[in-house]
C-alpha cells in the first residue's frame, strides 16, 4: 500500500524557514511519478506549491519561485520542502501528494497533512 506521511515543526517564526519532510512507503520516488507539495489555507483555498519529478527535476509555482526549494533523499525515499522568509500568510496545512509524471494527471495519493502556524 502506498503511503505518504508529512512531518515537521508545527510552529515557525516569521522570517524563518519552514522545512517539511514527506516520507513515502510502498512506492519508490524515482519511479514514474512527480511528488508535489500542496497547501490548504484557513478558509479552504488550496495552492499547488511545486513538485520534484522522478528524475529529480523541479517545477515550482511562480508565486513561490524565489522562496521555495524541493529536494529529495532517494536513499530514504523522502522528499522535502523548504520555504524561506515565511510570514503569517504561510500558515496552512501542508500536504504531500503524487501525480503521474506526464504532467496531465491528478493527485492520486495524498499524505494526511501537517498544520504549520507562522507566529512569533
Partner 1 sequence: DIQMTQSPASLSASLGETVTIECRASEDIYSNLAWYQQKPGNSPQLLIYDANSLADGVPSRFSGSGSGTQYSLKINSLQSEDVASYFCQQYNNYPWTFGGGTKLELK
Size of the site for partner 1 (CB under 8 A): 22
Q: Which of 61, 69, 77, 84 binds partner 1 (CB under 8 A)?
A: 61
Q: Does 44 bind partner 1 (CB under 8 A)?
A: yes
C-alpha atoms less than 13 angstroms from C-alpha of 11 in its C-beta half-sphere: 2
Q: How far apart are the first and last CA of the chain?
A: 39
The contacts of residue 74 (CB under 8 Å, 6+ apart) are 29, 30
Question: Minimum distance from CB of 13 to partner 1 (Å)?
Answer: 27
Question: Minimum distance from CB of 35 to partner 1 (Å)?
Answer: 14
Question: Minimum distance from CB of 19 to partner 1 (Å)?
Answer: 20
Could you list the residues that contact partner 1 (CB under 8 A)?
44-48, 59, 61-63, 95, 97, 99, 103-108, 110-113
Amino acid at each position: 500500500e502506498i503511503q505518504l506521511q508529512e512531518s515537521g515543526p508545527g510552529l515557525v517564526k516569521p522570517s524563518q524557514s519552514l522545512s517539511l519532510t514527506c516520507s513515502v512507503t510502498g512506492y519508490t520516488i524515482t519511479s514514474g511519478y512527480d511528488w508535489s507539495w500542496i497547501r490548504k489555507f484557513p478558509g479552504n483555498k488550496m495552492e499547488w506549491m511545486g513538485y520534484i519529478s522522478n528524475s529529480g527535476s523541479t517545477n515550482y509555482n511562480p508565486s513561490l519561485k524565489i522562496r521555495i526549494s524541493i529536494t529529495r533523499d532517494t536513499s530514504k525515499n523522502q522528499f522535502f520542502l523548504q520555504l524561506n522568509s515565511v510570514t503569517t500568510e504561510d500558515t496552512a496545512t501542508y500536504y504531500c501528494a503524487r501525480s503521474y509524471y506526464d504532467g496531465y494527471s491528478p493527485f492520486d495519493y495524498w499524505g494526511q497533512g501537517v498544520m504549520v502556524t507562522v507566529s512569533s
